[in-house]
């Protein structure tokens, strides 16, 4: 599937809802005292921001990326021994069970147990250790951000969001995507990973210094997100949008293929326990404000999302329809 670019970023200043992009994607220093307000504003305006002083060791990032590159450099027949992703494992081109495809190969792993097949050989123990250490570090960062958001919204308790990730039954996943060079791009936007929102609470993305990530603005136009391998990108997920009754925005995004360079990204998707009920927090409802969403469990939403195509409005089935 080939999609074409929308107007370039310099043209976006004409649109009122594009003001956030005039200075680029919000960059937030988590060590600064005003970071709570910046985090809340970024989640309200865009649903995407990047953070520095995040506490994830640079050496750990480099080592895990190196092991991932080594894995994806193996022959397809060897990599396929680690698949298919049902639900976890290696996948190539096919994304999910509903016909979505992209110029991508990937490893999808649970964050609770890591049973690496014999394909990893002697490297299995090292890879397992690196994945565990990395997940632990980014989970800690994600929880810190969620607690700062709760404070910024004046929500009590402070762990109203983060406790869902810290729960032993948290249904979080870790994904490593590899987008090989695609010589057929020739100036077109060949889709590496189709447009979608993330269904979980929060997503923590790290990629190498190759561009490809794009996000959709409120008016439907797509813009490219400049790569930044020194920062982590944070996405608001559908579940957090519901818990804030639409105050925070789950950002629609996609990845386009590169004609000559390989892109590697690693994403931690922080999800709640399967039995957790997802609904707007009562403490955020102002006056006679109505809930925009029906209450649902994470299991119900995950099951519904799994049956949908990437580009579907997954929350649509759970929105309360106002009487006309």
What are phi and psi for residue 148, nearest 5 degrees? -65, -35
Given a contact cutoff of 8 angstroms between Cβ atoms, the answer to whether 48 and 236 are in contact is yes
Which pair of tokens denotes residue 26? 């919000």
Q: Is the pLDDT of residue 20 over 60?
A: no
Given a contact cutoff of 8 angstroms between Cβ atoms, the answer to whether 51 and 234 are in contact is yes
> Which of the pair, 229 or 17, is modelled with greater confidence?
229
28 preceded by a cis bond (ω within 30 of 0): no
CA R_g for the chain = 19
Given a contact cutoff of 8 angstroms between Cβ atoms, the answer to whether 225 and 215 are in contact is yes
User: What's the whole-number average pLDDT of the chain?
Assistant: 87
* Whole-number Å distance between alpha carbons of 29 and 182: 35
pLDDT score for 101 = 94
pLDDT score for 116 = 57
Tally DSSP H helices, then E strands, for the chain. Answer: 7, 15
74 preceded by a cis bond (ω within 30 of 0): no
pLDDT score for 22 = 40
Q: What is the pLDDT of residues 113-157, one digit of tens each?
A: 655 555 566 667 888 889 999 999 999 999 999 999 999 999 999
Work out the burial of residue 124: count CB atoms within 10 Å of its CB; fewer than 13 is exposed, 13-18 middle, 19 or more buried. Answer: middle
Query: Per the residue annotation, which of 175, 206, 254, 263 is the catalytic one?
Result: 263
Domains of the chain: 27-307 (2.60.120.330)
Q: Is the pLDDT of residue 11 over 50?
A: no
pLDDT score for 69 = 95
Indicate the pLDDT class of residue 10, thresholds 50, 70 and 90: very low
Spatial CB neighbours of 173, under 8 Å, sequence gap ≥ 6: 88, 108, 109, 110, 111, 268, 269, 271
Indicate the pLDDT class of residue 84, thresholds 50, 70 and 90: confident
Q: How many CB atoms lie within 10 A of CB 6?
A: 18
Full DSSP string of 107-127: EEEESS-----GGGGGGHHHH
* Whole-number Å distance between alpha carbons of 191 and 253: 11
pLDDT score for 128 = 86
pLDDT score for 185 = 63
Nearest by Cα to 25 from 231, 274, 175: 231
Residues constituting the chain: 324
Q: What is the pLDDT of residues 184-212, one digit of tens each?
A: 766 566 899 999 999 999 999 999 999 99
pLDDT score for 289 = 85
pLDDT score for 82 = 84
pLDDT score for 288 = 79
Mean pLDDT within 88-117: 86
16-20, 72-76, 143-147: range with lowest mean pLDDT: 16-20
* Whole-number Å distance between alpha carbons of 176 and 269: 11
Three-state SS sequence of 7-61: CCHHHHHHCHHHHHHCCCCCEEECCCCCHHHHHHHHHHHCCEEEEECCCCCHHHH
Spatial CB neighbours of 149, under 8 Å, sequence gap ≥ 6: 36, 39, 40, 43, 161, 248
Q: What percentage of residues in the chain have a pLDDT greater than 70?
A: 87
pLDDT score for 19 = 37
Given a contact cutoff of 8 angstroms between Cβ atoms, the answer to whether 52 and 26 are in contact is no
Indicate the pLDDT class of residue 7, thresholds 50, 70 and 90: very low
pLDDT score for 152 = 96
Indicate the pLDDT class of residue 1, thresholds 50, 70 and 90: very low
* Whole-number Å distance between alpha carbons of 171 and 176: 17
Q: Which residue has the tokens 């789950």?
A: 250
pLDDT score for 207 = 95
Q: What is the pLDDT of residues 37-52, one digit of tens each?
A: 999 999 999 999 999 9
pLDDT score for 318 = 96
Q: Is the pLDDT of residue 308 over 70?
A: yes
Residue 263 annotated to the active site: yes
């Amino acid at each position: 599937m080939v999609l074409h670019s929308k107007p370039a970023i310099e043209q976006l200043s004409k649109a009122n809802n594009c003001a956030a992009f005039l200075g680029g994607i919000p960059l937030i220093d988590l060590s600064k005292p005003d970071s709570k307000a910046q985090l809340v504003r970024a989640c309200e305006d865009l649903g995407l921001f990047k953070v520095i002083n995040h506490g994830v060791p640079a050496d750990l990032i480099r080592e895990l990326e190196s092991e991932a590159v080594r894995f994806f450099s193996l022959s397809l027949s060897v990599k396929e021994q680690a698949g298919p992703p049902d639900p976890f494992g290696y996948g190539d081109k096919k994304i999910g069970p509903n016909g979505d495809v992209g110029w991508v190969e990937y490893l999808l792993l649970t964050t609770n147990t890591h049973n690496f097949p014999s394909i990893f050989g002697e490297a299995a123990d090292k890879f397992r250790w690196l994945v565990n250490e990395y997940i632990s570090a980014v989970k800690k960062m994600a929880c810190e951000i969620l607690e700062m958001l709760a404070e910024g919204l004046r929500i009590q308790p402070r762990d109203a969001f983060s406790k869902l990730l810290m729960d032993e039954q948290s249904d979080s996943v870790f994904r490593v995507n590899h987008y090989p060079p695609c010589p057929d791009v020739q100036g077109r936007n060949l889709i590496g990973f189709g447009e979608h929102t993330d269904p979980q609470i929060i997503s923590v993305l790290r990629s190498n210094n190759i561009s490809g990530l794009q996000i959709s603005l409120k008016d439907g136009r797509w813009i490219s997100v400049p790569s930044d391998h020194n920062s982590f990108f944070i996405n608001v997920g559908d579940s957090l949008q519901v818990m804030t009754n639409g105050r925070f925005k789950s950002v629609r995004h996609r990845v386009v293929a590169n004609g000559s360079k390989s892109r590697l990204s690693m994403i931690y998707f922080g999800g709640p326990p399967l039995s957790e009920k997802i609904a707007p927090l009562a403490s955020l409802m102002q006056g006679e404000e109505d809930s925009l969403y029906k209450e649902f469990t994470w299991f119900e939403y995950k099951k519904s999302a799994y049956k949908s195509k990437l580009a579907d409005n997954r929350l649509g089935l759970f929105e309360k329809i106002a009487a006309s």
